[in-house]
Amino acid sequence: MPSMKTHLVILLAAMVVSAALVTQGAMAADEKQGTKDAAASSKEARWQGHIIRIDKDHSRMSIRGGRAVSDSFERTVTYDSSTAWTKQGKPADQSEFKEGSFVIVLGQYAGKKGPLHANRIDLRLPR
């Protein structure tokens, strides 16, 4: 019949194996979440609305709108020399974009609360 020491050694070994399995599962879950976060940050964001302000000195504009046509939130959008300016999908000049114009912006967010950096700004017909 096994002694008390044998029972304790078996219990201790079971606890060590359990802790190793739990740690390995947690590390896998963290790695999976990190992959999801990287994919979400690289995913192209979309924002549409009317241009409220244009600040050419700081290469940014404020757009009131949202993801849906009925949304009415104001967002700062930044742009640079790599931003593509289009009008209904065809190349356009930046000077055609005025306050009050309806635009669709595609780009990436600079962090969770940062501005949307535009890869492309598309001018649409007035609504």
Q: What is the pLDDT of residues 47-95, one digit of tens each?
A: 999 999 999 999 999 999 987 777 788 999 999 999 999 999 999 999 9
Residues in the chain: 127
Is a pLDDT exceeding 80 seen at residue 113? no
Mean pLDDT of the chain: 83
Q: What is the mean pLDDT of residues 97-106?
A: 95
Q: Give pTM, 2 decimals.
A: 0.64
> At residue 13, does pLDDT exceed 70?
yes
Long-range contacts of 86-92 (CB under 8 A, 24+ apart): 86/120, 86/121, 86/122, 86/123, 87/122, 87/123, 88/122, 88/123, 88/124, 88/125, 89/122, 92/123
pLDDT of residue 70: 75
85-116: b or e for each residue (b if 16 or more CB lie within 10 Å)?
Answer: bbbeeeebeeeebeeebbbbbbbebeeeeebb
